[in-house]
């Protein structure tokens, strides 16, 4: 089976409190974006018991055995011992450590692909439960539609927001932001105005009301990320912001997008629509 895990952006992101269990409560709108990795799984022969996992495209740092795709397989295997060994191939195009949720998407799509291929008959609530055990962002990709997210990001409520009539660009300067470091720089505070309310306002008002709390520490540590946001506004973006804990910045436009000021930078740039 061949599937195409897509990424997401955060429309606003507020860290509202630190919980007793060490996690943080947040408020955001997760919005799916049609920019994808490719993930293929093939059942191995009955006499082959070893998993095979290969990766092409962008280099994936760290031990391959820690990859969320493998963790997703082992998670299901623990409850479904008859699950056969598989070949997995991941072609990585979504930048990592970039606030786009690419690794979480890969894990969620692996769960769904295994469920379909081997007829495990898992329901959506069951898949959401497995996904949460892999990471806070993973459940979103099971639903994969615009959602107002609270809790750790695991409490998801579908929300009516449609950006398909706009053009979008993702710009990543190749800086890996450590999520733990980013959270350590945040002072949680209750939101003054719910993102669920702000997102229903005209997009032209988002600039004043819709904020990502991580921008302050990340921009201070990496001024070039702040500069990307400024350039997107200079080039006519209706709204621009950093996604997640960074380092990708996205811009939403209703005109053609001219990124001439960034042309000599060795940045990853992806146009959507």
| Reported pTM | 0.94
User: 98: which strand partners?
Assistant: none
Does 117 lie in the same domain as 240?
A: no
Question: What six digits make up the tokens of 157?
Answer: 């409520």
Does 49 lie in the same domain as 24?
A: yes
Does 179 lie in the same domain as 58?
A: no
Q: What is the pLDDT of residue 132?
A: 96
CATH code of the domain in which 154 resides: 3.30.230.10
Does 15 lie in the same domain as 137?
A: yes
Q: What is the pLDDT of residue 4?
A: 98
Does 28 lie in the same domain as 138?
A: yes
Which of 105, 139, 158 is the C-terminal boundary of a domain? 158
Which of 126, 158, 190 is the C-terminal boundary of a domain? 158
Q: What is the pLDDT of residue 62?
A: 72
Does 154 lie in the same domain as 27?
A: yes
> Residues 228-236: contacts with CB within 8 Å, 24+ apart?
228/171, 228/173, 228/262, 228/267, 231/259, 231/261, 231/262, 232/169, 232/171, 233/207, 234/261, 235/259, 235/261
From first to last of its 273 residues, the chain has per-residue pLDDT tens of 999 999 999 999 999 999 888 889 999 999 999 999 999 999 987 777 789 999 999 988 777 778 999 999 999 999 999 999 999 999 999 998 899 999 999 999 999 999 999 999 999 999 999 999 999 999 999 999 999 999 999 999 999 999 999 999 999 999 989 888 999 999 999 988 999 999 999 999 999 999 999 999 999 999 999 999 999 999 999 999 999 998 999 999 999 999 999 988 999 999 998
Boundaries of domain holding 216 = 167-272
Which of 118, 139, 158 is the C-terminal boundary of a domain? 158
**Which of helix, strand or coil describes residue 39?**
strand
Q: What is the pLDDT of residue 143?
A: 98
Does 83 lie in the same domain as 11?
A: yes
Q: What is the pLDDT of residue 160?
A: 96
Q: Which positions are catalytic?
A: 8, 137
Q: What is the pLDDT of residue 26?
A: 95
CATH code of the domain in which 191 resides: 3.30.70.890
Does 173 lie in the same domain as 65?
A: no
Does 205 lie in the same domain as 81?
A: no
Does 213 lie in the same domain as 121?
A: no
């Amino acid at each position: 089976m061949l599937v195409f895990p897509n990424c997401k952006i955060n429309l606003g992101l507020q860290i509202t409190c630190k919980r007793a269990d060490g996690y943080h409560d947040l408020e955001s709108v997760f919005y799916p974006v049609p920019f994808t990795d490719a993930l293929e799984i093939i059942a191995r022969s009955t006499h082959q018991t070893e998993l095979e996992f290969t990766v092409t495209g962008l280099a994936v740092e760290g031990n391959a055995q820690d990859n969320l795709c493998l963790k997703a397989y082992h998670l299901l295997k623990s409850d479904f011992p008859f699950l056969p060994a598989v070949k997995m191939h991941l072609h990585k195009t979504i930048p990592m450590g970039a606030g786009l949720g690419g690794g979480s998407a890969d894990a969620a799509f692996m769960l769904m692909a295994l469920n379909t291929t081997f007829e495990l008959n898992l329901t959506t609530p069951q898949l959401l439960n497995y996904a949460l055990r892999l990471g806070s962002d993973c459940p979103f990709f099971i639903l994969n539609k615009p959602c107002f997210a609270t809790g750790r990001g695991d409490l998801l409520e579908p929300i009516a927001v449609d950006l398909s009539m706009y053009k979008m660009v993702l710009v990543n300067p190749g800086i890996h932001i450590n999520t733990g470091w980013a959270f350590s720089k945040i002072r949680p505070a209750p939101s003054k105005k719910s993102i669920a309310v702000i997102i229903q306002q005209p997009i032209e008002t988002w600039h004043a009301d819709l904020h990502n709390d991580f921008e302050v520490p990340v921009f201070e540590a990496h001024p070039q990320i702040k500069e990307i946001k400024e350039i997107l506004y200079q080039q006519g973006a209706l709204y621009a912001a950093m996604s997640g804990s960074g380092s990708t910045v996205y811009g939403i436009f209703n005109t053609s997008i001219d990124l001439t000021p960034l042309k000599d930078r060795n940045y990853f740039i992806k146009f959507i629509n």
